[in-house]
Amino acid sequence: MAKYDLQIKSVMIHDVPRGGSDATVMTLTEAPIELDDQLEAYFRSKISSSLSNAGVDVIVDPAKDSTVSDAVVAVLDEPDVLPEQSRLIATRLHKVQTGVNPPGLLTVIYGISDRNQAVSILKLEREEGIRFEVKEKDGQLTVDLQFLRDLTLTNKTRVFKTSLFRLTDSQTSLIGSVSDEQRGAIEGRGVAEFFLGTFLGTRLRLSPARATQQFVKAAEDFLNADISSPEIKARYQVALLATMQNSQEQITPAEFAQTYLDEAHRQRFLDVAQHNELAPDKPFTKDTSLVKVPGFRMLFENGMVLVGSAEDLDRRVVVKDQAVAPGVQILDRIKAIRNK
């Protein structure tokens, strides 16, 4: 099963109106809805595509409200409590929403993903004026199946915010992935703090600045430990500097390796990146505030040091890798010579 493919076992859906005013009435259901094949395929596809395209890894933030994370852990521990715990999650969303947050359907799904128990929380933002339809089943309120089919399969609602959580392998803490397609469409990849922190009570596993710092460290560790050829090392250094200095907002280690590294070196670089907390196929937002990337520093065997910009390294430094006479050629005019 693919990483974000969720085998759905049980689904709760609640209506959360615009804003968080106590005067605004929520409609909380009491029993799970039995999805037909079309609706199950719809939710599985939305979860998988949203997280694959725009997901970021998150962990619980102990400084944030724990209502949602506690509810998720409770469901993972005992799936039968999904109805009551999903109502707590919906109530939390209603409490923290403001007038700028549109109405929507808060959907909480229990299932199996990649052989692990998992809980997905989605906010489906629907058109204003569409009345939430429920029906009674065995004395409990549940979503009307035809209403849900009409709403989702006719594009009268959009899945803007998605999350998928599971316990760590040690079963001691909660980890997950979160995407925010509404923010992505306007501001690029990322998740609104309202959804990530205020509602879910989570934070990024690695901040953009920390992820960028780890990427540079991984690249430098790889260059220094695994690349013996001065010519190849210089070429890879140019690629790293260019990546740090260009206007590209996102970096994916696997894409960097595919674009700039020789095939024989790609897997080793990705292993080093993973050792530095970076998932090879997971993009992160570039933030160079914690790294120094103005240029290069080349240390020679006899102790000399050559420094310059990425442009200098690319245009004015020729690295010779011949076995007989290795060395570096500088293609520039001498402006001045000073004693050390």
Model-wide pTM > 0.95? no
**Residue 187: per-residue pLDDT:** 38
Query: Alpha-carbon distance 1 to 4, whole Å?
Result: 8
Residue of 336 and 306 predicted with greater confidence? 306
pLDDT (mean) for 157-171: 83
* pLDDT value of residue 128: 64
* Most confident residue range from 66-75, 178-187, 199-208, 305-314: 66-75
How many CB atoms are located within 10 Å of the residue 319 CB? 18
Give the separation between CA 5 and CA 222, rounded to whole angstroms.
33
Most confident of 10-14, 34-38, 293-297: 10-14
DSSP reduced 3-state for 241 = helix
Q: Averaged over 165-176, what is the pLDDT?
A: 85
Whether residue 125 is predicted with pLDDT greater than 80 in this model: the reply is: no
Residue 1 above 60 pLDDT? no
Best CA proximity match to 191, nearest among 174, 173, 177? 177
Res 117 pLDDT > 60: yes
Confidence of residue 55 (pLDDT cuts 50, 70, 90): confident
SS (H, E, C) 183-218: HHHHHCCCCCHHHHHHHCCEEECCCHHHHHHHHHHH
Percent of the chain residues past pLDDT 70, beyond the cut? 79
Res. 199: pLDDT tops 50 = yes
CA angle (173, 178, 184) in 5-degree steps: 160
What pLDDT shows up at residue 173?
85
Distance CA 161, CA 155 (A): 16
**Measured distance CA(60)–CA(144) in Å, rounded:** 34
For residue range 126-157, list pLDDT tens digits in order: 766 677 888 988 899 999 988 888 888 776 66
pLDDT cut 90: percent of the chain above it: 42
Q: What are phi and psi of 120, to 5 degrees?
A: -110, 135
Phi, psi of 63 (to 5 degrees): -85, -5
Is 41 in contact with 5 (CB distance < 8 Å)?
Answer: no
| Ramachandran class of 195: left when φ > 0, alpha when ψ lies in -120 to 50, beta otherwise | alpha
Mean pLDDT of 62-75: 96
Render 27-63 in DSSP notation, one character per residue. B---S-----HHHHHHHHHHHHHHHHHH-EEEEE-TT
Examine the pLDDT at 286 and tell me if it is beyond 50.
yes
Q: How confident is the prediction for the chain on average, in pLDDT?
A: 83
Does 298 or 160 have the greater pLDDT score? Answer: 160
Closest to 59 in 3D by CA, of 283, 277, 212, 288: 277
Give me the pLDDT at residue 184, please: 43
The string of DSSP codes covering 102-147 is: PPEEEEEEEEEETTEEEEEEEEEEEPTTPPP-EEEETTEEEE-HHH
pLDDT confidence band for 176 (50 / 70 / 90): very high
CA dihedral over 50, 55, 57, 59, signed as positive or negative: negative
Comparing 113-122, 149-158, 214-223, which segment has the lowest mean pLDDT? Answer: 149-158
Residue 322 has pLDDT above 60, yes or no: no
